[in-house]
Amino acid sequence: MKQGFMQGKRGLIMGVANKNSIAWGIAQSCMDQGASLVFTYQNDHLKSRVIALCEQHNAAGILGCDVGSDEDLDRTFTQTVDILGGLDFVLHAIAFSDKNQLRGAYVDTTRDNFSLTMDVSCYSFTAVAKRAQSVMGAGGALLTLTYLGAERYIPNYNVMGVAKAALEASVRYLAADLGPQGIRVNALSAGTVMTRAARGIGGFEKLLRYNEINSAMGSNVLLDQVGNAGAYLLSDLSGGVTGEVHHVDCGYHAMGMPSVQRARENAQWFSTVDELDD
């Protein structure tokens, strides 16, 4: 029988909404490499769909968990350890903001939505890390998902970019806090992928096209490419890596200026675009 590099590893996967979810891509890769997984879904709205998807793939457990609730988080970690007999890794692939504020100007962000976005998209990872710390041993790994909008202005990404910047800073602080226990903490900065959450960002299809033209590889990243990189960061293969933001975006982040050929492609494409948030 094939022995994958995650054979015997027990993981908690938070953030599967459907088969297009980044969490699902990473989960599939972990399962292919032998990991046993418990999944969470946020609420009853997507419950039956997530349960059906996870059951088809022999999930060890499927639990409801709203990361805005400390009680839900406590219960989720207790139940996950009961089900799996321990915990080796956690994937946090969760973000939320009012989609009406993921278009237009960042300066129009409201106080309420700023707090909500920071709570669900940033603080929840720290809350997850706190629970993980109490049940994980040396060799444990935590991974969250971020985006280039944390580092640079991206039209319409707005308050989510600010939350992702705080999330990336959290990764460095958590890496230092949990490092002495042998627990690693990293972020994967994914390129643009069409998902349920991404559809909420104004003009996301245009962002996809612009990334495709301007990435080093001239393409958008595929879900299985993000999945494999995620599995690496959650496994012992990345045993010396912590506090890192790892870009998996076909090299889009590395580009400073387009070639003449790509600049012409950009010019041609921009001539067909009216607004970036439509």
Residues 186-205 that bind ligand NAP (CB under 6 A): 190, 192-193, 195-198
DSSP string, 65-109: --TT-HHHHHHHHHHHHHHHSS--EEEE------GGGSSS-GGG-
Residues 45-64 that bind ligand NAP (CB under 6 A): 45-46
Residues 104-143 that bind ligand NAP (CB under 6 A): 120
Kindly state whether residue 36 participates in binding ligand NAP, applying the rule CB under 6 A. no
**Residue type for position 103:** R
CB of 143 to ligand NAP, least distance (A): 11
Site size with ligand NAP, rule: CB under 6 A: 28
Q: Which residues pair with 146 in a beta bridge?
A: 189
CB of 63 to ligand NAP, least distance (A): 11
Q: What's the order of all strands across the beta sheet hosting 89-92?
A: 61-64, 36-41, 10-14, 89-92, 141-146, 184-190, 245-248
Kindly state whether residue 101 participates in binding ligand NAP, applying the rule CB under 6 A. no
CB of 157 to ligand NAP, least distance (A): 10
- Residue 67 or 178: the one with the smaller Cβ distance to ligand NAP is 67
- Residue 94 or 178: the one with the smaller Cβ distance to ligand NAP is 94
Q: Give the Å distances, CA to CA, from 118 to 95, 154, 159, 160, 162.
A: 9, 18, 8, 8, 8
- Residue 145 or 178: the one with the smaller Cβ distance to ligand NAP is 145
Kindly state whether residue 67 participates in binding ligand NAP, applying the rule CB under 6 A. yes
Residues known to be catalytic: 147, 157
Handedness of CA 20, 23, 29, 31 (dihedral sign): negative
- Residue 33 or 42: the one with the smaller Cβ distance to ligand NAP is 42
Kindly state whether residue 227 participates in binding ligand NAP, applying the rule CB under 6 A. no
Distance CA(38)–CA(152), nearest Å, equals 34
Collapsing DSSP states into helix, strand and coil, what is residue 13?
A: strand
Burial class (CB in 10 A: 0-12, 13-18, 19+), 64: middle
Measured in residues, the chain has a length of 278
Kindly state whether residue 145 participates in binding ligand NAP, applying the rule CB under 6 A. yes
**Residues of the shown chain interacting with ligand NAP in the complex, contacts defined by CB under 6 A:** 15-17, 21-23, 42-43, 45-46, 66-68, 93-96, 120, 145-147, 190, 192-193, 195-198
